[in-house]
Amino acid sequence: MSTSTFKNRCVTLVCCKFCDSLLCTRGMKAVLLSDTKVELFSTDIPPHSTVDFVASCYCTESCKCRLKDIACLKCGNVVGYHVVAPCKPCLLSCNNGHFWMFHSDSVSAVNRLDPSGLNLLLWGDLPETESSEDEGTGDLSEEEYIR
């Protein structure tokens, strides 16, 4: 699967369902590889300013990815998880470069529109990185190179 298959996906705003705060502006709808009935929203940029880690690393039963739950900073509810260290099969198969996941039952998502306001904004239209509110985040890469 090449990354180009993700380019015609809609970009979504992801909001916390519990307190309505905006969690991230670069969401992508996804399904869990191990259980395609489970819907998720993923993002590629660490949403450090809106979520925080809770508890410690754990592994799923289906694979060896190391995960860490993330909770909304405002209300403290768990809204998803971060893939701290993806396992090899996942890295090879499902990789859209997104290691931050939001549970679809904990968040609400709104499709973003392009600058004209007429069309849906697609991932192919997005710049590689979008430094909107977060300026000076030099620590993005701390987890990116764990194998």
Q: Under the criterion CB under 5 A, does residue 32 sit at the interface with Zn ion?
A: no
CB 56 within 8 A of CB 5: no
The tally of CA atoms less than 13 A away on the side-chain side of residue 53 is 10
Measured from the CB atom, is 18 or 39 closer to Zn ion?
18
> What is the smallest separation between the CB atom of 106 and Zn ion, expressed in angstroms?
9
Site for Zn ion in 77-96 (CB under 5 A): 87, 90
Report the nearest approach of Zn ion to the CB of residue 79 (Å). Answer: 7
Residue 60, CB-side half-sphere exposure with 13 Å CA sphere: 18
Min dist. Cβ of residue 65 to Zn ion (A): 3
Nearest alpha carbon to residue 44 among 89, 92, 6: 6
Q: Are 12 and 111 in contact (CB under 8 A)?
A: yes
Query: Contact with Zn ion (CB under 5 A): which of 28, 71, 72, 121?
Result: 72
Q: Which stretch binds Zn ion (CB under 5 A): 24-32, 35-43, 59-67, 111-119?
A: 59-67
Cβ(110)–Cβ(102) below 8 Å = no
Binding site for Zn ion (CB under 5 A): 16, 18-19, 63, 65, 72, 74-75, 87, 90
